[in-house]
Chains A and B, each alone.
Chain A
Amino acid sequence: AQSVAQPEDQVNVAEGNPLTVKCTYSVSGNPYLFWYVQYPNRGLQFLLKYITGDNLVKGSYGFEAEFNKSQTSFHLKKPSALVSDSALYFCGHYMNRDDKIIFGKGTRLHILP
């Protein structure tokens, strides 16, 4: 079955430090991968996507993600974390045949001041 996995329930990072939120995928064919962020009591917001092309994808709020085919990973990164980055992050995969996005279980990111 096609899926994305987020191995960490929670990630804690000190403000100003680099952050990484992990995502691995298991899909057949070309992966269409996404990151979304959810702030408390809000809907999900799109951050970035990988469809094809450069393995390093830049997105909103200074986030980027690196597509790694050999490791089947699509980790979300940011060079310097802000307290306001604290939120729930979802990795997603678009299933072309079914025209739907499935999401990982989410990773809660805590940026410590």
Chain B
Amino acid sequence: DTAVSQTPKYLVTQMGNDKSIKCEQNLGHDTMYWYKQDSKKFLKIMFSYNNKELIINETVPNRFSPKSPDKAHLNLHINSLELGDSAVYFCASRRRENTGELFFGEGSRLTVL
């Protein structure tokens, strides 16, 4: 059983399009995150949710909108895609009381042409 699953794994699209990445965790965790890993492998936190409530919104363009329909799901919708959005997006989750031990998904590689 996959603990944190993301779909799609690969996404190739044109500039200006709108796309979504979905994330689901079956670990019963309370907190979920989106991270962006660029071509140099730098990891940057984008958002975090705790029990469907937005906790962190780093300086991410408004074109990025997370949505958490329930505490097991955290989706990422991106409007008007730009070349610079090309990256690998990782979803992660953790139990609220378990400081810092994140469980990551396999990543979704987004390529904007």
Contact = CB atoms under 8 A, between A and B. Distances in A.
Interface of A: 32, 34, 36, 38, 41-46, 49, 51, 88, 90, 92, 94, 96, 98-103, 105-106
Given A90-B43, A100-B45, A46 B107 contact: no
Interface in B42-70: 42-43, 45, 48, 50, 55-56
Contacts of A36: 102
Contacts of B100: 32, 34, 49, 51, 92, 94, 101
Interface residues of B, number: 23
Contacts, number: 58
Interface of B: 4, 31, 33, 40-43, 45, 48, 50, 55-56, 90, 92, 99-107
A100 B33 contact: yes
Contacts of A32: 99-100
26 contacts: A32-B100, A36-B102, A41-B107, A42-B106, A42-B107, A43-B4, A43-B104, A43-B105, A43-B107, A44-B90, A44-B102, A45-B104, A51-B99, A51-B100, A92-B100, A94-B99, A94-B100, A98-B56, A99-B48, A100-B45, A100-B48, A100-B56, A102-B45, A106-B41, A106-B42, A106-B43
Contacts of B106: 41-43
Nearest to A46: B101
B102 A46 contact: yes
